[in-house]
Amino acid sequence: MKVCLAAHKQPVKVAWQESPQFPGFLSDAHKKVFLEQLSACGMTAAESSDAPVLTVTMQVTASEALLIANWTDTQGGRQTYMVGISRASLFVAQETPPVPQLQRELVWQQEKPIQSAMGWVDPSSREHFLFLLSGGLFLRYHSENGAWKITDSTELPAVRRHSRSGDGAFLYPYPDRPLGILFDGKICDLKLDERVSFTCSAIHLEGKALQILSTCEEGPRYLATDTRDYTETDRIILRGPVLNQAARPPSDDVASSVEVPGPVLGISVAENAKAAFAVVKNLATGNYEVYRITAVCSN
């Protein structure tokens, strides 16, 4: 306002100088507001080298933040305008960003072993499904009145040998591939029409850490399990943000975790990476359980 009231109404070239103590305070958003105010009072910002230079500087003292505007008009006259703002009123302590918290929701349990589970939403009908791999079968359930009802079952392709994780695991997402099932040495893409079918081919997949998106952050975080064996209860862990695809956070970088009543036999990340589905063997009941895992904001 001081610049607008005192200066001539003409184009100016704006230069910015920040305080070393507070780099980034003159953000693009703050600059945009300042330039809009200049434009509103008739002083448009110009890039022309012939336009007078208006230098906006921020300096910080022990008690104040000083906003200083130096302006040299076309006749060579130099003007300085200054506004002091109390630091107590300007630099309000930022609240600590919320840390996502893991939550679990039991969605299915049965006596027969489950190798892998996945929630899926039909892109056309928006109908919700639950897929299971169990007993050499692909089982498809649909949601009906808040409960899962069996839709159909399809025999899985034969595998050469059994791995520690059983007869396969759901694999999604993976670049340029639809939802599939990873077996020993091959991946089978799922065709989910009225009748389920598989198209299998040998593929080499490099190890990829599980990643999940929270409701309060733009980037993903790592998802892991504890290092306990199959005779102990387990926990699912949310680790640090994914900053480098090639790097993993240290083992002690735990943002939050959720306990489960037995060993985690496998985790599959759902289509939009906003949820994961964990298969757990409940040590108290002996049942195999499927939990939907999400990362939500604590506030």
Residues 79 and 190 in one domain: no
Q: Has residue 235 been placed in a domain? A: yes
**Residue 188 tokens, joined:** 């089978």
Residues 208 and 65 in one domain: no
Span 20-49, pLDDT tens digits: 666 666 677 777 777 777 777 777 777 766
- Average pLDDT for 111-129: 92
User: Which of 170, 165, 196, 189 lies closest to 277, judged by CA?
Assistant: 170
Q: How far is 209 from 243, CA to CA, in rounded Å? A: 13
- Going by their DSSP bridges, the two strands 211-212 and 221-225 should be labelled as antiparallel
* pLDDT confidence band for 265 (50 / 70 / 90): very high
Q: Has residue 96 been placed in a domain? A: no
Q: Is the pLDDT of residue 164 over 50?
A: no
∠ CA 42-43-44, nearest 5°, is 110
The range of the structural domain enclosing residue 64 comes to 2-90
Quote the DSSP letter at residue 92: P
Q: Has residue 256 been placed in a domain? A: yes
The answer, yes or no, to whether the previous bond of 52 is cis (omega within 30 of 0) is no
Q: Is the pLDDT of residue 277 over 90?
A: yes
Burial group, residue 65, by CB count within 10 angstroms (0-12, 13-18, 19+): buried
Burial group, residue 212, by CB count within 10 angstroms (0-12, 13-18, 19+): buried
Neighbours of 186 (CB within 10 A): 16
DSSP, residue by residue, 220-252 = -EEEEE-S--TTS-EEEEEEEE---TT----TT
**pLDDT number for residue 7:** 59
Total-model pTM: 0.65
* Higher pLDDT, residue 173 or 202: 202
**pLDDT number for residue 150:** 96
Q: How many domains would you assign to the chain?
A: 2
Residues 107 and 81 in one domain: no
Residues 109 and 79 in one domain: no
Q: Is the pLDDT of residue 149 over 80?
A: yes
Residues 249 and 144 in one domain: yes
Among 7-16, 83-92, 152-161, the minimum mean pLDDT is found in: 83-92
**pLDDT number for residue 13:** 80
Q: Which of 44, 70, 90 is a domain's end point? A: 90
Q: How far is 267 from 292, CA to CA, in rounded Å? A: 10
Q: How far is 299 from 294, CA to CA, in rounded Å? A: 15
Neighbour order of strands in the sheet with 101-110: 101-110, 288-296, 276-281, 264-269
Residues 25 and 164 in one domain: no
Residue 290 pairs with which residues in a beta bridge?
108, 279
Q: Is the pLDDT of residue 245 over 70?
A: no
* Higher pLDDT, residue 206 or 157: 157
∠ CA 269-272-274, nearest 5°, is 70
Q: How far is 173 from 271, CA to CA, in rounded Å? A: 6
- Going by their DSSP bridges, the two strands 13-17 and 53-60 should be labelled as parallel
Amino acid identity, position 278: A
Q: Has residue 95 been placed in a domain? A: no
Q: Which of 70, 90, 110 is a domain's end point? A: 90
Q: Has residue 238 been placed in a domain? A: yes
Span 92-113, pLDDT tens digits: 444 566 789 999 999 999 999 9
Residues 188 and 83 in one domain: no
